[in-house]
Structure 1
Amino acid sequence: MTLAQHLATIDLLCSWEFPVEHGRSGTGTGGPGYHIAELATSDDFWEDDGTRRQETEDRFDADRDGLSELLSGRWGSPQRFSLASLFARSADGEDIPEPWSSLSSHVPDVHLWQEGTHGRWVALGVSQWDGELPFQLLAVVTDIDVP
């Protein structure tokens, strides 16, 4: 997908109603108060010496940054928000609301805006669950404030 297609997906998510229950959607996952779109997914890295993984990580970071620049033209500079503290709080037993709880387990940080039309939060992040698993460029649209 191109950056223009990613922007179109984010625009759709900003206008869609939120699902009543947690589950899969045509773009990724969703639940009460949020949509998570899987904008791009890499191959896995089971047979990699580390070089391809680093190149892929750099490419996904560059794609996030390029998309972030386009969104900044709409909503201003993003807040850059580390999810590490949410992950630690969740590990300590605090109840962190979705989508922030699950994101914090595999996305280290997000670029975050509050879009103007619907007042929803829009976040971009790069996910990787484990060193051998694929990277994903994720877009999150939610009306749930960051805890």
Structure 2
Amino acid sequence: MDIANHLAVIDRLCAREFPAEHGRTDAGTGGPGYLIAELETSGDFYEEGGTEREETQEQYEADRDALGERLADRWGPADVFSLAGAFARATQGEEVDEPWATLASHVPDVHLWKAPTGRWVALGVSQWDTELPFQLLAVVTAVDPP
């Protein structure tokens, strides 16, 4: 993991304008009020043998925590925020604002800060399904957490 590069990506996201439309960006995805950067992506687990998936998950969580320590030096300790409630509400048809609705479907929780810019900064570990890759995500949004 390249912490300096990841911090630079987060800094760029904090300074950028949000896209007017939902879609891909040079760093990942974005839309009105949010940007999501894919900082790291693992391989998939279709051919898994043994504990590779669990070890990869642990490594991605450790990488999130290491990057989070650097952000905590800037902005104080993170709030660990579960997205389970947002996921449950979204699956029951309740409207949950983006980026939280989509994140809740593949990120169980985020480490969350309010940056001096007034934007929320979150780090999360994503996995859409047990065979698919893990991703370390950085989210910068003006949308309050659900």
Instruction: Sort the TM-score into its range (normalised by shorter chain).
Output: over 0.9
Once the two structures are superposed, residues 71-122 of structure 1 have per-residue CA deviations (whole angstroms, 9 ceiling, x without a partner) of 0000000000000000001111110010000000000000000001x11000
Partners in 2 of 1:30 and 1:75 — Cα distance?
Answer: 23
Please give the alpha-carbon distance, in whole angstroms, between the structure 2 residues aligned to 1:28 and 1:87.
21
1:137 matched to which residue of 2?
136
Spell out the pairing of 1:90-129 with structure 2 (5 A cutoff): 90-116=90-116, 118-129=117-128
Shift of 1:50: 4.2
* CA distance, structure 2, for counterparts of residue 56 and residue 79 of structure 1: 24
| SS of corresponding position for 1:63 | helix
Q: For the residues of structure 2 that align with 1:76 and 1:50, how far apart are their CA atoms?
A: 38
Secondary structure of 2:125's partner?
Answer: strand
C-alpha distance in 1 between matches for 2:95 and 2:139? 20
CA displacement 1:10-48 (0-9 Å, x = unmatched): 000000000000000111000000000000000000000
Distance 1:55 1:37 in 2: 23
Tell me the TM-score normalised to structure 1 length: 0.98
TM-score scaled to structure 2, two decimals?
Answer: 0.98
Unpaired runs of 5+ in structure 2?
A: none
TM alignment of 1:69-108, pairs within 5 A: 69-108=69-108
Identity of aligned residues (%): 64
> Unmatched 5+ residue regions in structure 1?
none
d(CA) in 2 for partners of 1:139 and 1:132? 22
CA distance in 1, matches of 2:121, 2:98: 14
Q: Secondary structure at the match of 2:140?
A: strand
Q: Which residue of 2 aligns with 1:28?
A: 28
Superposed CA RMSD: 0.7
Structure 2 residue identity aligned to 1:134: P
